[in-house]
Amino acid sequence: MVQSTKERLVESTSEAEAITETETLNKKYFELLDSLLNDKKDVAIKKHPELISAYKAFEVYEIYFLAGGDWDEEGAVEFKKKMAKTIVSKLIKGKDFPKFQTPIEKKK
């Protein structure tokens, strides 16, 4: 079966929109993650109000998991990073973007 030019154009437009949406979501993911891990809480929430629930979840992780464990400094930092990634990923995924895949960080 031969595809018409119109069908191919619609497909390529849909693919371009999907790529743009993915890039936008990835950018938002890294912005929120960076803010959650590096900014002071009040500054981060002013920049990204959606982080309010993320901070509440993050505090629960810190109270119940970090405080209860015997962590060295490096282990605690890595644990916090993993929890932040999980929280931000779920925050972005939400109802609006159920197919969002957490991006893989590029090694510096």
Per-residue pLDDT of the chain (108 residues; tens, 9 = 90+): 556 655 555 555 666 666 677 888 889 889 999 999 999 999 999 999 989 998 998 888 888 877 777 778 888 888 888 888 888 888 887 755 556 666 666 655
pTM above 0.75, yes or no: no
In a domain, 102, yes or no: no
First to last CA, the chain: 47
The parent domain of residue 49 ranges over 5-92
Q: Tell me how many domains the chain contains.
A: 1
In a domain, 66, yes or no: yes
In a domain, 99, yes or no: no
Query: Which pLDDT does position 44 carry in this prediction?
Result: 93
In a domain, 53, yes or no: yes
CA distances from 60 to 55, 102, 108 (A): 9, 22, 30
Under 8 Å between Cβ of 35 and 88: no
Buried b (16+ CB within 10 A) or exposed e, 65-89: eeeeeeeeeeeeeebbeebbbebbb
